[in-house]
Amino acid sequence: MKVIYDGGTDTLTVIFAETPVAESDQDKPGVILDYDAAGNLVSLEILDASLRVGLPTQIEYRVIPGRLMHGPLGARGGIASR
């Protein structure tokens, strides 16, 4: 998973999978959901992020102990800011 904030366009994008986007929907104004060909959510884009998100340049990531976790970090989490 990747989280990208672009200050030039004021967009916050969360990429869940590196899969080609087949369809995009804007369910709510300023929130775009991207889906792959199988209908799985691939990414989420928030337009005018500085108006919709408290601190678009800071993210907190937390894994609840005891939950199944896959990937290189295992059960670790962290806080990152720019």
At residue 11, does pLDDT exceed 60?
A: yes
Neighbouring-strand partners of residue 49: none
Q: Based on the structure, what is the number of domains in the chain?
A: 1
| Per-residue pLDDT tens over the stretch 27-73 | 899 999 999 999 999 999 999 999 998 888 888 888 888 766 565 55
Residue 38 vs residues 4, 20, 70: alpha-carbon distances, Å: 24, 11, 22
Q: For residue 3, what pLDDT is reported?
A: 93
Predicted TM-score (pTM) of this structure: 0.73
Q: For residue 75, what pLDDT is reported?
A: 45
Q: For residue 68, what pLDDT is reported?
A: 63
Domain coverage including residue 55: 2-81
Three-state DSSP state, 7: coil
Q: What's phi and psi for 51, nearest 5 deg? A: -90, -20
Contact (Cβ atoms closer than 8 angstroms) between residue 32 and residue 26: yes
